Amino acid sequence: MEKAKIAVIGAGPAGIAVGVEAKAHHISPTVLFEKSEAFCDTIQRLYRPGKRVDAVYRKMVVKPLGICQFDTESKEDFLKRMEAYIRDYELDIRYRSEVNAVQKADGVYRLRVGSDWVLEAPIVVVAIGIFGKPRKPDYPIPKEIRERVFFEAPCECPQEGRVLVVGGGDTAAETACFLCEGCEEVYLSYRRPKFFRINPVNLELLEKKAQTGKVQLMMNTDIDHLEPDPQGVKVVFKDGQEMVVDRIYYCLGGSTPAGFLRSIGVEFQDGKPVMDKYYETNLPGVFLAGDIALEKGSIMAAFNTAHIVVKRILEKYGDLIR
């Protein structure tokens, strides 16, 4: 079986930054596994073309600690930056390789892709993010309206119709502003009376759209359920209010892929994976990096987890990786 010093699962910002930091410290071989055809699948797939990638995301100013860092720039420039890291640090990324199991045997971890155990390494960093599984509402979505209900921000703007965006974060704000480019009526429903997570740039843009009537803000509204309607989707709110829209976009973020982590033996406490301050789990040598390691994720925070993890690997497992 192929052997590596560090196996990294996921080639998003966190996984790539782990690869970069490991390479900078000559930890070789370090092998990254990525389930999709390209690096940074979350960004490639869920960010619309031209999207601003904010260095200060969800109002969190994160001071860069390691090699990977960036200033606010477009999606395309950010992806070029990541491509340059991959090229300059000669990262070994295995694309179309979804790791579906990790097992400890003879003191090392073995990784399975498809039905084959493909690689073993003493250290594993899990950097699979949370956006493989977008968060969904508790109420069911009737099957008649499923093609009108979306759990990801749109990459293309529909050129007509009445749409409802649900959520109170940056993605909800950006989605509402973006949909104004084509849709006749855009509504944004948020269950709180005030936005508190949106960064100042997005908030200003959203407020401008609201002032000019392009986005109708529906604060303090909470959806009870959805129903099929001859005109589209009937949205019934908890206060009894109803509206009919053509499409709904839920921007509720993602959730920790607990199933995968549990299946490899990571313990959970109060719904969160058990980790020390260096993001090492209860399994010695298995670390988490990026969104799955963080309460509030962002790209810069993901980069920093990678720096902390690799520093810790050097300190604690120097004998195993040199």
Among 83, 98, 222, 229, binds ligand FAD (CB under 6 A): 98
Residue closer to ligand FAD by CB (options 119, 243) is 119
Closest to ligand FAD by CB, 72 vs 282, is: 72
Burial of 106: CB neighbours in 10 Å, binned 0-12, 13-18, 19+: exposed
The first and second tokens of residue 138, run together, are 């508790």
Comparison of 28 and 72: residue with beta carbon closer to ligand FAD: 72
Interacting stretch for ligand FAD, rule CB under 6 A, among 38-46, 138-146, 213-221, 274-282? 38-46
4 near ligand FAD (CB under 6 A): no
Question: What is the dihedral angle through the alpha carbons of 192, 193, 199, 203, rounded to the nearest 10 degrees?
Answer: 130
281 binds ligand FAD (CB under 6 A): no
User: How many degrees, rounded to 5, is the angle at CA 15 between CA 50 and CA 79?
Assistant: 20
C-beta of 92 vs 98, nearer to ligand FAD? 98
Beta bridge partners of 225: 236
Q: How far is the CB of 94 from ligand FAD (least distance, A)?
A: 9
Least Å distance between CB 316 and ligand FAD? 22
Of 122-130, 138-146, 220-228, 261-269, the segment contacting ligand FAD by CB under 6 A is 122-130
Task: Give the strand pairing for 73-74 and 52-53.
Answer: antiparallel
* DSSP-assigned states of every residue in 114-175: TTEEEEEESEEEE---STTSB---SS---GGGGGGEESS--SS--SSSEEEEE-SSHHHHHH
CA angle 154, 157, 158 (to 5 degrees): 110
Which residue carries 């010093």 as its tokens? 5
Question: Binding to ligand FAD by residue 279, rule CB under 6 A?
Answer: no
Q: Among residues 36, 256, 281, 304, which is the contact residue for ligand FAD, using CB under 6 A?
A: 36
- Alpha carbon distances (Å) from 226 to 11, 138, 148, 172, 215: 37, 11, 11, 19, 21
Decide: is 273 part of the binding site for ligand FAD (CB under 6 A): no
Identify the CA nearest to 306 among candidates 76, 129, 100, 170: 129
Of 29-37, 219-227, 263-271, 277-285, the segment contacting ligand FAD by CB under 6 A is: 29-37
Using CB under 6 A as the binding rule, whether residue 177 contacts ligand FAD is answered as no
> Site residues for ligand FAD, window 291-310 (CB under 6 A)?
291, 297-300, 302
Q: Which two tokens stand for residue 62?
A: 């994160």
Q: Contacting ligand FAD (CB under 6 A), which of 23, 164, 171, 313?
A: 171
Binding residues for ligand FAD, per CB under 6 A?
9-15, 33-36, 40-43, 46-47, 53-54, 57, 98-99, 127-129, 131-132, 153, 171, 290-291, 297-300, 302
